[in-house]
Amino acid sequence: MKKFFSTALARGLFWQVIGTLVGAGLVTGIRWAMGLSTTIDNFFFTEPAWVMGGFFGVLFFLAGNGSVTDWYKWARGIDTPEHPEEPWTGWERYLHVSLDHKVIGVQYTVTALALIAIGGLFALIFRTELATSGLKFLTPDLNMFGQTGLQLYNTLMSLHGMIMIVSILLGIAGIINYVVPLLLGAQDMAFPRLNAFSFWIAVPAAVLLLMSMVLGGFDTGWTGYPPLSARAPVGVQMFFLGVFTAGWSSILGALNVIATVVRMRAKGMTAWRLPIFVWASLATSIIALTATQLIGLSFQLVMFQRLFGMGFFDPAKGGNPVLFQHLFWFYSHPAVYVFVLPGLGVISELLPVFSRKPLFGYRWVAMSSLGIALVGFLVWAHHMFTSGMNEYLRVPFMYSTLLVAVPTGVKFFSWVATLWKGKIVFPTPMLFVIGAIVVFLLGGLTGPPNATVSVDLHLHDTYFIVGHFHDTIFGGFVFPFFAAIYYWFPKATGRRMSEFWGKVHFWMMTPSFFLMTFGMMRIGLLGMRRRIADYDPMLGFDATHMVLTIAGYLIGLSVLIFFINFFYSIRNGEKAEGNLWNSRSPEWQVPSPMPVHNYEKPFEVVGEPYDYGLPGSKYVEFSSSSQGKHH
């Protein structure tokens, strides 16, 4: 226990609490000196005090847990060792600040899994309410966390969305950070301290998001549209601040990935010999680096509207509510490609290994990731067809949105062609890859109806949309995330997860998910709106809702099984120290668990990455002399 309190995690959280009090106290002091109100009934501090508190909390967390110590020393002109000593072993290692991308990758992944559990729990709570018509426990006279049952429904639903989104950003960061340096033959990421910082800033961000629950919640959905968000309870400020902070993690992480891919490649690794997952990571990072600033800006403007009366989106002051939507979606659409491009990259990376065949049309697949990223910047207003924006914008955005289908189609056809004439095997990672393809296909196919304006006028804000994005997210992230974990777990630990329980996870999750998504889309078409705590029994949706709730619980159970498998197998899994999947990729040519400095002997790229079936071909060759000395 004492060990825990000395960890960077515990220290950070401690200092976050102190920082929150200092920030809130500071503002309260200034307000008192200015003769303004200093406390409000429900939440003790005023809203500006909580905002400053939240902000200071993040700063104190980072300063207090050691994430910025080296940079501070550099600013003072003091040199620090390039590879500092990291004496901790076992689980302790992951609770301290480490510069090792492999440790950071695991930290990201485990945090993502924790957020998936929390976000999933929130969903199960409101799914239980929605299982039948008629409010049961989230009722107007319920009073919990300073919210009525109806407000609590909105808060749970909104947090489910945003917590899951943050879990996706952390999950992709986890896989990318662990795997990309290994694929490139690098010792670490280009900027290891920035890497550690990018992870650690996500922790106070998650705390802020969860804090909204006890500050009155918020009733706006994760999209936070004003004017509703301008008049929402104080909790919405924690939501805005939490997202802003998480955005920094995403931006700086992406910066690191781009620099690493450009500057840290092994000899002979030309562009067309990069592993396909690296192309995917690059495309994702280009979007995350740039577009993320716009959600930060849009939220900042609402925060300032609330704090200082700056009427950006207040019609009474000449403001424009629709402007918020343009700014918000300019990020939030490309964001969904951030969510799925890595997962699609995982599919492309793993299919050749399990089909024993080259990735069909590798260069086209590589370019398709960049193509999706580029076109993805041009489609945002398809979320706004009913918004009252200028009429003439609707048709161009319909065209651009439908265009995304072209590079996406290239991937699907390539995957099918990769499987064709292969020698296919079906271990657990492959099952999740296949599940990912089929589920993402559903997501992709339900896209065009949303893209065509007239049909979207019926579908917008219904459960059809909810079904569509759960398809794309499960297919593009959730399934590939599990595939990647099952696949690379042996590389990280030297053991494999249970195949049996992995299959149970898959066969429980997948049919449940299909039931859930088809059910959602059906009632959406028939009139079920989104984001409602209750629905009219006359609509006849009760039976389907019950199915959705049961499916949700089954998915939750399957994920619980995964968690148990994951944690149990770290110490007790079947040993797997060699090239378990018979992959050509360099990280599998060295023993598992991965050595601390990755490749003692550097490798040179001498062939194509996916030349399975070509006798005598090699992808990488390790040098005979041990030149892997780290400086």
Partner 1 sequence: MSHILDKTSALRQGVVIFIYLAVLTALEFFVAVTFESVFFLVLVAVIKAALVVYYYMHIYKLNEDSPSDEHSYGYKTGTSRLGLWLFLLSDAFVFAGLMTVRVNLLGMTRPDLSQDLGLLVTAVLLISSFFMNRGETAMAHGDKKGFMVNTSITFVLGLAFLIGVVAVEWPQAASHGITPASGTAGAVFYMMTGMHAFHVLTGLIFLLVVLNNGRKNLYSAEKHWGVEACAVYWHFVDLVWIFFYPALYLIGAAL
Partner 2 sequence: MRHFVVVGIFVIVVSILTYVGLDAAELMPEQASAQAVSIDWLWDLQLVAMSFLFALIVVPMAYSFIVFRRRKGETGDGEHIEGNTGLEITWTVIPLVAVLGLAYLGAYSLGDISRVDPNAMVVNVRGQQFAWIFEYPEYGIVSDELHLPVNRQVVLKMESPDVIHSFWVPEFRVKQDVVPGRVTEYRITPTVIGAYKVRCAELCGSNHYSMINDVIVQSQADYDAWIAVQSELAAASQTPEGIGQRLTVQYGCTGCHSLDGSSRPTGPTWLGLFDSQRQLADGTVVTADEEYIIESILEPNAKIAAGFQSPSLMPAIPLTNEEIEYIIAYIQTLR
Binding site for partner 1 (CB under 8 A): 75, 77, 190-191, 194, 251, 255-256, 258-259, 262-264, 289-294, 296-298, 301, 304-305, 308-312, 317-320, 323, 326-327, 330, 631
- Closest Cα to residue 340, out of 367, 376, 293, 364? 376
Residues in contact with partner 2, total (CB under 8 A)? 93
CB of 419 to partner 1, least distance (A): 37
Taking the C-alpha atoms of residue 173 and residue 402, their distance in angstroms, rounded to an integer, is 29
From the list partner 1, partner 2, none, which binds 326 (C-beta under 5 to 8 Å, kind-based)? partner 1
Beta-bridged to residue 100, according to DSSP, are none
In the set 366, 483, 533, 551, which binds partner 2 (CB under 8 A)? 533
Residue 228 sits in the site that holds partner 2 (CB under 8 A): yes
Comparing CA positions, the residue from 399, 395, 397, 402 lying closest to residue 382 is 397
Q: How far is CA 570 from CA 91, 153, 301, 489, 579, in A?
A: 10, 37, 45, 9, 18
Shortest Å distance, C-beta 430 to partner 1 = 36
Measured from the CB atom, the residue of 53 and 334 that comes closer to partner 1 is 334
* 603-605 and 620-622 beta bridge pairing: antiparallel
Which alpha helices (DSSP H) does 264-312 contain, by range?
A: 276-308
Binding to partner 2 (CB under 8 A) within 310-349 occurs at 315-316, 319-322
Nearer to partner 2, 3 or 356 (CB): 356
Our finding on whether 405 is near partner 2 (CB under 8 A) is yes
Amino acid in the structure at residue 402 = L
CA atoms within 13 A on the CB side of 245: 27
**Shortest Å distance, C-beta 353 to partner 2:** 10
Encode burial over 20-35: b for 16+ CB neighbours within 10 A, e otherwise: bbbbbeebbeebeeee
> Between 111 and 305, whose beta carbon lies closer to partner 1?
305
Site string for partner 2, 231-250 (x = CB under 8 A): x-------------------
Query: Residue 14 touches which of partner 2, partner 1, none (CB < 5 to 8 A by kind)?
Result: none
Tell me: does residue 271 bind partner 2 (CB under 8 A).
no
Residue 429, beta-bridge partner list: none
User: In this complex, which beta carbon is closest to partner 1, that of residue 292 or of residue 414?
Assistant: 292
| Residue whose CB is less far from partner 2, 307 or 425 | 425
Binding at 301: pick from partner 1, partner 2, none (beta carbon under 5-8 Å per type): partner 1
* Minimum distance, C-beta of residue 574 to partner 1, in the bound complex (Å): 37
The answer to whether 55 touches 220, Cβ cutoff 8 Å, is no
Q: Would you say 149 or 586 has its CB closer to partner 1?
A: 586
Is the CB of 317 or the CB of 356 nearer to partner 1?
A: 317
Cβ of residue 331: shortest distance to partner 2, in angstroms?
19
Give the residue among 407, 385, 408, 387 at the shortest CA–CA distance from 397: 385
Show contacts with partner 2 in window 167-206 (CB under 8 A): none
Which residues 33-92 are close enough to bind partner 2 by CB under 8 A?
Answer: none
Binding span for partner 2 by CB under 8 A among 86-94, 147-155, 194-202, 276-284 = 147-155
- Quick one: 308 or 392, whose CB is closer to partner 1? 308
> Cβ distance 162 to 96 under 8 Å?
no
Q: How far is the CB of 346 from partner 2 (least distance, A)?
A: 17
User: Closest CB to partner 1 among 271 and 614?
Assistant: 271
For 66, counting Cβ atoms within 10 Å of its Cβ (0-12 exposed, 13-18 middle, 19+ buried), the class is: middle
CB of 621 to partner 2, least distance (A): 20
Query: What is the helix (H) or strand (E) element at residue 81, kind and residue range?
Result: none
The values of phi and psi at residue 39, to 5°, are -140, 155
| Backbone angle region of 270, left / alpha / beta, with phi > 0 → left and psi within -120 to 50 → alpha | beta
> Which residues 534-563 are close enough to bind partner 2 by CB under 8 A?
534-536
From CA 392, how far away is CA 411, in angstroms rounded? 32
**What are the two backbone dihedrals, phi and then psi, of residue 179, each rounded to the nearest 5 degrees?**
-90, -40
Give which of partner 1, partner 2, none residue 416 binds (C-beta under 5 to 8 Å, depending on kind): partner 2
The CB density around residue 471, as the number of other CB atoms within 10 Å, is: 27
Q: Which does 453 bind (CB under 5 to 8 A by kind): partner 1, partner 2, none?
A: partner 2
Which of partner 2, partner 1, none does residue 289 bind (CB under 5 to 8 Å by kind)?
Answer: partner 1
Which member of 13, 255, 259, 532 binds partner 2 (CB under 8 A)? 532
Helix or strand holding residue 199 (H, E): helix 192-211
Nearest to 335 by CA among 166, 521, 531: 166
Q: Amino acid letter at 399?
A: Y
Site map 434..473 versus partner 2, x via CB under 8 A: x--xx--xx--xx-xx-xxxxx-xx-xxx-----------
Min. distance of Cβ 151 from partner 2 in angstroms? 5
Residue 612 binding partner 2, by CB under 8 A: yes
Rounded to the nearest 10 degrees, what angle do helices 428-445 and 499-526 cross at?
10
